[in-house]
Amino acid sequence: MSSQEEPEHHQFKEEENKSEYSGKKRDEKQKHNQICQKTKQPKLKTESSKQKTYEKVHPDQNLYSYKICDESFNKASLLTTHMRTDMDKKSFTCSTCGKSYGHKAGLIYHMKVHSGEKPFSCVTCGKSFTMKSSLVVHMMSHSGEKPFSCTSCEKRFTSKVNLTDHMRSHTGQKPFLCGTCGKSFYRKSILTSHMRIHTGEIPFKCASCGKSFRNRSCLYRHMMTHTNEKPYSCGTCGKRFSQKGTLTRHMKTHTDERPFSCGNCGKSFHEKWFLNYHMRTHTGEKPFSCGTCGKSFHHKKNLSSHMRTHRDEKQHNVQFSSSAWENFIDL
């Protein structure tokens, strides 16, 4: 190569390198613009990789905003943390019962419990629900879908919440404690229902006869007595029941399955609540007291039987007083 050609070749190489560098810069800029275009208005439900890429490209921009308090953040994770903190504040309170919520939407849903509004209806059976999520779970009862399974006993559930509650039956965990009597429960809804024993609240009223109940499930079971609806039938003997739980208990009478055993005497029972009743014979616990004479009983049914003796005595006294008055008049 001649000395004259060498500068020209060197100059050509420089121009080629510049062109290649410009091309890389252009490609990088184009890629950057594509990222910006794709994630210009990111949502929490977008792909995690896109979120993280955009957050790295624009660390100084607060792209994730919280509509309730107008706070904004440059990372989705920070917004999530803030939302949890804000929910813990529970600044939205129900004027009817005093229950508080972290979000206004939670309060709005809750108010439907008092108003009786149930805008979400099942197209299969017509049953209505306060929340759409409850309808979705209910629809699985028709389809038979139970996507959540227990790793200990393989029992399946329609929702993760029900699975979590069930898992506590294996672990014995009862995190929900009554502040009045100290009794603990594995499910918050059971604690809520239990608290009404102390407060005397019976908010669920039957529209047909006016009878009131502490929880919705008791009202629902009671409503069956008016309609005589018994949708659950035993495949062995054909007997029908108004509740699926009652059918499940009945099925154990055919199999003679008694999975709940007393640790003191070894006696076995079909249901856990039978075992709980039985345990009181060992502990001496008598939680059901008569308001008239103060006598206590192991079981509620025994208290109910006892209460009849007071009613019969009262009726007898009234009849005796009437007879005595009539005899006095005859004199």
Q: Beta-carbon neighbour count of residue 51 at 10 Å?
A: 20
How many Cα neighbours within 13 Å face the side chain of 322? 6
* Structure confidence at residue 324 (pLDDT): 52
* Structure confidence at residue 180 (pLDDT): 87
Average pLDDT estimate for 60-85 = 58
Q: Is the pLDDT of residue 269 over 80?
A: yes
Average pLDDT estimate for 214-225 = 84
Q: How confident is the model at residue 287 (pLDDT cuts 50, 70, 90)?
A: confident
Rounded mean pLDDT of the chain?
A: 74
Q: Does the pTM exceed 0.75?
A: no
* Structure confidence at residue 237 (pLDDT): 92
Average pLDDT estimate for 15-43 = 50
Average pLDDT estimate for 270-281 = 82
Strand partners, 268: 261
Q: How confident is the model at residue 87 (pLDDT cuts 50, 70, 90)?
A: low
How many Cα neighbours within 13 Å face the side chain of 69? 14
Average pLDDT estimate for 248-275 = 84
Average pLDDT estimate for 80-89 = 60
* Structure confidence at residue 135 (pLDDT): 85
CB neighbour list of residue 112: distance below 8 Å, 6 or more residues apart:
118, 119, 130, 131
Sign for the pseudo-dihedral over CA of 50, 56, 57, 60:
positive
* Structure confidence at residue 2 (pLDDT): 47
Say which residue the tokens 């439900």 belong to: 45
Closest CA to 64 of 53, 56, 72: 72
Which of the pair, 164 or 323, is modelled with greater confidence? 164
Average pLDDT estimate for 111-122 = 82
Q: Is the pLDDT of residue 9 over 60?
A: no
Which of the pair, 27 or 227, is modelled with greater confidence? 227
Gap between the Cα atoms of 266 and 178, Å rounded: 30
* Structure confidence at residue 204 (pLDDT): 86
Q: How confident is the model at residue 310 (pLDDT cuts 50, 70, 90)?
A: confident
194-198, 243-247, 270-274 — most confident range = 194-198
* Structure confidence at residue 44 (pLDDT): 43
Gap between the Cα atoms of 90 and 93, Å rounded: 7
